[in-house]
Amino acid sequence: MNIKDSVIIITGASSGIGEATASRLAAKGAKVVLTARREERLNELRDKITSEGGKALVVPADVTKKSDVENIINKTLDTYGTIDVLVNNAGLMPLSYVDKLKTDEWEKMVDVNIKGVLNGVAAVLPTLIEKKGGHIINISSSAAHKYFPGGAVYCSTKAAIKMFCEGLRQELAPEYGINVTSIEPGAVDTELLDTITDKDILEKLAPMKEMDMLESEDIAHAIEYALTQPARANINDVYIMPTEQKG
């Protein structure tokens, strides 16, 4: 796939992996559609991209709301006439031990990490099926492979996305030429850790801040790699860990 002039929707684009991915792909000539709840942050990113000669469209949205996600698709088609890639990046990670019963946080993770991805795929799929091509990239996690303390619900949501990706690949790639990739990073230095309210978890994770974690740009580079392979080559999974991370 040639990134130049491709139309790429990126959810969770207001910070972290989404922001880095938008910047990187826009610099390669993509027309990026920036979506998240924080409109001010999106506008700042759009202004930065356009000042550097790139093209960016802002469509604020909450991925847990079907109507919001459908609006992203409609605004993108109205502006650019097509869609080539969806990067489902929006996610939450409020880790907690199960016995703390932080059920509101559990539900938020399910709504954003799973339902948000499902909403994005459902909304974009008619366009990709009609054009018989495109790419869906879902941000899963190394947590999809193994449980870690405090991650019972989070790991479950990311395991669900990993399996959803495999189902999508098998159903969509051979029939419609739509490639599907699961990106599965280890520890990345983003705002995800800021969503944790369980003090015991925060204490346990404190040593991680001394580790040389992955940067958002590392994941953006992995996404670019998956997108730039020949159409015949589907990069199913990208499992990327910090060199210093053991588990």
Residues annotated as part of the active site:
154
Q: Are strands 31-35 and 55-58 parallel, antiparallel or unpaired?
A: parallel
Both ends of the chain: CA-CA distance in Å? 34
| CA distance readout (Å), 100 to 90, 146, 150, 197 | 25, 21, 10, 11
Residue located via tokens 């869906």? 136
CB contact at 8 A, 128 and 136: yes
> Which sign does the torsion angle of CA 214, 224, 134, 49 carry?
positive
Q: Are strands 31-35 and 134-139 parallel, antiparallel or unpaired?
A: unpaired
